[in-house]
Structure 1
Amino acid sequence: MSEWATRPLRVALAIRGAIVAPVRRALIRLTRRTAVPPTWRTPTGPHPVGVRDALISGLGPAPTDGVIRIWYPAVAGTGGDPREYFGGPDEQRTMVRGLRALLSAPGVRALGTRRTASRPDAAPATTGAPVVVFSHGFTGFVGQNTHLCEHLASAGYVVVSVAYPGAAAAIAGPDGSERVMTPTERRRLTSPEFMRTIAALLTARTVAAEDAALARAATVDAQAAENARWIRHLSAVLDALTSAEGRARRVDATAAQLLDAADWSRLALVGMSFGGSTSANLAQVDLRVSAAVNLDGLQQGELLRLHDARVPMLVMSSAGSRLRSGRVITDLHYAAPGSHAPVQRVLVPDARHHAFTDLVEFGSGPARRLLELGTVDAGRMLALVADSTLEFLDHALRPVASASAAGEVGR
């Protein structure tokens, strides 16, 4: 399909974006007092949750290139007041700049001033906890799945969320540094080649035509370059954090102490959207990784198309990932034809893409549709993602404890 043939689709998408964005922001401004619930969902695990922001040195020329957020099991009664979703005033201002095009400035402030369940710098409660490294989506942010990360930490995991420079809507470093995604960076995935591929997928009338379009999607230049960039960054994060020597050199002493207490031999990668694809791809080649979770991500590259996943995988998908044939867009990934690879697949038919983030609680009425949340109940969705991910990780990383719990239930 030529670039001229895809021009009507590109124009239609541009017009839709020009109409949808201001309408969505206007609806959020009108309902900002009810944009988010007044209370925060409490994690159900046995541990309180601590949180700390940190910088990994040497990941790039700017401090924001190394921003991470750490959630961990904590000692009750320690730490500061529960963290606001977007932290203090500096982080609030940065996130307003990065997300106001999506949520409007009043909407971002309503989201950002919510009190979470995480207490900054609480004393760590456990040693030998398995580790989860979380990756946000393209134009996402380091705390976009705070509900999930807190749930895992309350259940005994150390969770490290990675900010991807130039791909996060906004990054606010604990040292006061900041980076906001530019319009050019936001547009870099919508190349003519990508639009041709999407047009082919949307117009495919047969399974064979879908397969051909999906095969082309795996080799789109813009996507391939972004995929390589994310894998390099995530791999560099693991290089910095998986050894005690690296932690001592690359993060502050308090963060190093938190991470030293974890068991890095039990490591899983979890991600949403582009971060989910990146997690799966790196898990396929990095022997340090024992499991991976992809939350509604279009899988990039050829590495896992019609190939068995090296590690156990959980793949959760929304209604938006379902093709005309009824298949899900990742059905051709993670297992060779006829294989019985350890892949769990969960389709949530009443959810859309952003329902796999904390935004599932955001807004009301038509604003939710324009935010790509679907009709799924927010509480049900948060519980489904958190519980499914935890159950999968327990089986993959804590099989003895998981089997013991199953035995208790059976008695």
Structure 2
Amino acid sequence: MRQLLAVAAGLVVLAASACSAPAPPRADAGPPVTPTGPITLPTPTGPHPVGTTVLYLTDTSRPDPWDLDVDVRELKVTLWYPTRQRDGQRAPYMTAKESELTLKSSRIVGVPYDTLSRTRTNAVKDAAPSGRKLPLVVLSPGFTKPMSTLTSLAEDLASRGYVVAGIDHTYESYATTLSDGRVAECLACEGDTDPGFGPRVVQGRAADVSFVLDELPSKWDGSGLIDRSRIAMAGQSIGGAAALATMVKDPRVRAGIDMDGTTYARIPRSGFAKPFMFVGSPEHVPGGRDTSWDRDWKLLTGWKRWLVLTGAEHQSSTDLPLLAGPLGIRPAPGVLSGARGSELTRTYVAAFLDRHLKSRPQPLLEGPSPRYSEVTFCPATCGTP
């Protein structure tokens, strides 16, 4: 299991690894800065306003894998999508209770516990969806992290004409509010050092995704917008590992992205031909600390890319570095800023999806770009750390 990484903007305590509990901040993280006020997530770059709504789904066909007293699997699914509605109530980033539990569990002190709940989003709550034949992207967050930590990416994709379904994998994050108001905490954290934990998580998440794909047509009024022949999945950390595991199991998911996640899926030795992209921190250079990408790269026989971002840390593809100011955390030197990490993530994820779900040529994915000089194409131009 990967040990916890120091996060770019000093968010060490929020950067739990795929399967590790958080550790206290490093002594060399520097003194905290004075917390700033609430921030607004980066403005989406696409032409469409963004709406969002929440579904609560219950899978009665299987027990919950983490709560042995529950014989069904409850999931919270957040949808982002294009809308014509520009005005209206903005969706909350997370609830005050979710913010409190996340900060306490991450050992963030010195800021009000509702700090994360005051982050401002761009999506209009429960706005009417618009469009037709839109591709669907499933998002899966890192271990211990709520789905809200990928909100800026989800909003951007929706503004570009995608429907996005983000899954909170119940009992795998510090706080998930369920349909009746109960807040499910991280029961899975109790076993994250057990042998086989990583494979168990990704297989459970693959089952979650397949169930959500089964249920969307009947549970969401806007599901008629979705072109179900064009589905992809992306995830951060173990959510990225789950993307590969899901693609192996579910033929409906035709392309995938792993953002800095150690992989655990069993890929057929004969090879796996669906389009796939790795994008992550320098830990993932060929021959680096994490060798799972080296192993899987050899088995990916279709279109593939392996991108390493200079200065990136484990959480650079999430919203967490954007929240450094409100959390009173000093940015570390030599590390991607939250704004730049968000820009790179949005740009390359969208390029991949536009190529494989919209059949649009993407020269950006063919080699290095002077505009995005932090991005290295591996394995040909990567060295060992």
Normalised TM-score (structure 1): 0.72
Q: CA RMSD in A?
A: 3.3
Identify, as 1 or 2, the structure richer in helix: 1
Amino acid aligned to 1:48? P
Q: Give the match for residue 97 of structure 2.
A: 93
Q: Assess, with a 3 A threshold, how the Cα gap between structure 1 residues 135 and 62 changes in structure 2: closer, same or farther.
A: farther
Q: Give 3-state SS (helix, strand or coil) of 1:355's partner.
A: coil
Question: Superposed, which structure 2 residues align to 1:54-69 within 5 Å?
Answer: 54-58=55-59, 61=70, 65-69=74-78
Q: Give the match for residue 378 of structure 1.
A: 338
**Cα distance in 2, alignment partners of residues 169 and 404 from structure 1:** 38
CA contact (8 A) 2:283 2:289 kept: no
- Identity of paired residues, percent? 25
Matched, 1:388 2:348: yes
**Cα distance in 2, alignment partners of residues 94 and 270 from structure 1:** 23
Q: Give 3-state SS (helix, strand or coil) of 2:137's partner.
A: strand
Question: Superposed, which structure 2 residues align to 1:289-308 within 5 Å?
Answer: 289-303=253-267, 308=271
Q: Give the match for residue 204 of structure 2.
A: 229
RCO higher in 1 or 2 (8 Å CA, sep ≥ 6)?
Answer: 2
Matched, 1:32 2:41: no
**Cα distance in 1, alignment partners of residues 278 and 222 from structure 2:** 29
CA contact (8 A) 1:270 1:292 kept: yes
Which of these residues, 351, 358, 369, is aligned with residue 398 of structure 1?
Answer: 358
Q: Give the match for residue 320 of structure 1.
A: 283
CA contact (8 A) 2:36 2:328 kept: no
**Cα distance in 1, alignment partners of residues 160 and 232 from structure 2:** 15
CA contact (8 A) 1:128 1:261 kept: yes
**Cα distance in 2, alignment partners of residues 171 and 122 from structure 1:** 23
**Cα distance in 1, alignment partners of residues 304 and 209 from structure 2:** 22
The total of aligned residue pairs comes to 335
Cα offset for 1:127? Answer: 1.6
- Unaligned segments of structure 2, at least 5 residues: 1-20, 65-69, 365-385
Which of these residues, 110, 119, 129, is aligned with residue 124 of structure 1?
Answer: 129
Matched, 1:72 2:81: yes
**Cα distance in 2, alignment partners of residues 84 and 73 from structure 1:** 18
Identify, as 1 or 2, the structure richer in strand: 2
Q: Give the match for residue 169 of structure 2.
A: 164
Q: Deviations over 1:151-186 (max 9, x none)?
A: 00000000000111121221013542321114xx32
Amino acid aligned to 1:167? E
Q: Assess, with a 3 A threshold, how the Cα gap between structure 1 residues 354 and 96 changes in structure 2: closer, same or farther.
A: same
Q: Deviations over 1:338-357 (max 9, x none)?
A: x7531111101201101121
CA contact (8 A) 2:34 2:328 kept: no
**Cα distance in 2, alignment partners of residues 27 and 65 from structure 1:** 41
Cα offset for 1:328? Answer: 5.7
Q: Give the match for residue 343 of structure 1.
A: 304
Q: Assess, with a 3 A threshold, how the Cα gap between structure 1 residues 147 and 188 changes in structure 2: closer, same or farther.
A: same
Q: Give the match for residue 208 of structure 1.
A: none
Q: Give 3-state SS (helix, strand or coil) of 2:147's partner.
A: coil
Q: Assess, with a 3 A threshold, how the Cα gap between structure 1 residues 104 and 64 changes in structure 2: closer, same or farther.
A: farther
Q: Assess, with a 3 A threshold, how the Cα gap between structure 1 residues 160 and 104 changes in structure 2: closer, same or farther.
A: farther
- Unaligned segments of structure 1, at least 5 residues: 1-15, 192-219, 407-411
**Cα distance in 2, alignment partners of residues 159 and 166 from structure 1:** 22
Cα offset for 1:403? Answer: 4.2
**Cα distance in 1, alignment partners of residues 109 and 189 from structure 2:** 17
**Cα distance in 2, alignment partners of residues 132 and 268 from structure 1:** 5
**Cα distance in 1, alignment partners of residues 147 and 340 from structure 2:** 23
Q: Give the match for residue 294 of structure 2.
A: 332
**Cα distance in 1, alignment partners of residues 31 and 224 from structure 2:** 46
**Cα distance in 1, alignment partners of residues 82 and 243 from structure 2:** 23
Amino acid aligned to 1:384? L
Q: Give the match for residue 193 of structure 2.
A: 190
**Bigger Rg, structure 1 or 2:** 1
**Cα distance in 2, alignment partners of residues 266 and 150 from structure 1:** 19
Q: Give 3-state SS (helix, strand or coil) of 1:232's partner.
A: helix
